[in-house]
Structure 1
Amino acid sequence: MKPLLVLLAVFAVSLLTTRVVRGRFEFALSGRIAMSAMLVFTAVAHFVFTKGMSMMLPDFVPYKTLITYGTGILEIFAAIGLLIPKFRVVTAWLLIAFFILILPSNIYAALNHIDYQTGTFDGNGLSYLWFRIPLQGVFICWTYLSAISK
């Protein structure tokens, strides 16, 4: 829920700022700025809640902590890439692939009631997926519309 709030709040502020500065609403630019801010926000969680984020990966996955840090770094690079015109489209496609690839970890976390913030097994469970799966779709569509489509 927090990433969605960050995305929408930054989008609103960016949209109003582009209107004031450029004299028109810049929806795609504001969308990329908002997605970049959201990615930095979620990337920070990989470093602050490393234990809980690592728990979101199944036991058979090796180097969980390293993967957790790595995905946080990837999110930071994606946030930057969305804002550089030369890298925007390729970054967006890779980000869409990333959103699809991380969905199983969210499903695993829900099935196992993992609370990534506390690093415990008392999370929301399956009810979390009713929000998380559509949210992944929102992130994918948002990325496509703000960075790829013309």
Structure 2
Amino acid sequence: MTTHHPTQTTTVQTIFRFLLGGALILAGTSHLTWARTEFLAQVPQWVPLNGDLVVVLSGIVEILLGLSLIFLARQRVLVGWVVATFFVLVFPGNIAQYLNHTDAFGLNSDLARGIRLLFQPVLVAWALWSTGAWAAWRRNK
């Protein structure tokens, strides 16, 4: 039986970590450019900041998280937890879009918005699995 370094991941996990990183960079860039108005639809009205500021700041955070997933391999476990936490923190925006029946990103029905809600836990799991964060947590338990 081989012993694995606590932060060692498989080639498949690394590929998926890079894919998630690229997706976050793309999403963050879209926050700052072509999809800025669409992202405004996801800022809950109860957030005490200017909606456009929230969109810009979250876009910058997404770009930084994406770059971290790709380039901070030695800290990938910590980055995995940070990315997973980010996905949890933005989830209220997705819920607000559903509850307020706001059309954005082609989600123009409650069914489509509801289905999208189901994918947020997938993103959390993806971040934790692809970085080895979940395995590291289980080993340290």
Report the equivalent of 1:82: 69
Q: Does 1:127 align with 2:111?
A: yes
Report the equivalent of 1:12: none
AA of the residue aligned to 1:53:
F
1:145 Cα deviation from its structure 2 partner = 0.8
Task: Decide which moves more: 44-53 or 98-107.
Answer: 44-53
Q: Does 1:55 align with 2:45?
A: no
User: Contact conserved, 2:98 with 2:114, CA < 8 A, in 1?
Assistant: no
Q: Does 1:29 align with 2:14?
A: yes
User: Contact conserved, 1:52 with 1:114, CA < 8 A, in 2?
Assistant: no
1:50 Cα deviation from its structure 2 partner = 1.7
1:128 Cα deviation from its structure 2 partner = 2.5
1:1-150 pair list within 5 angstroms: 26-47=11-32, 48-61=34-47, 62-83=49-70, 84-117=72-105, 123-147=107-131, 148=133, 149=135
How many angstroms apart in 1 are the aligned matches of 2:119 and 2:105? Answer: 19
- Can you give the 5+ residue segments of structure 1 that lack an aligned partner in the other structure? 1-24
| Residues 114-136 of structure 1: CA deviation (Å, up to 9, x unaligned) | 23348xxxx42421343222211
1:103 Cα deviation from its structure 2 partner = 1.0
- Can you give the 5+ residue segments of structure 2 that lack an aligned partner in the other structure? 1-9, 137-141
Higher relative contact order (CA 8 A, sep 6+): 2
How many angstroms apart in 2 are the aligned matches of 1:59 and 1:137? Answer: 23
Residues 117 and 137 of structure 1: is their aligned pair in 2 closer, same or farther, counting only changes over 3 Å? closer
Residues 134 and 117 of structure 1: is their aligned pair in 2 closer, same or farther, counting only changes over 3 Å? closer
User: Contact conserved, 2:40 with 2:51, CA < 8 A, in 1?
Assistant: yes
Residues 136 and 117 of structure 1: is their aligned pair in 2 closer, same or farther, counting only changes over 3 Å? closer
Q: Percent identity?
A: 25
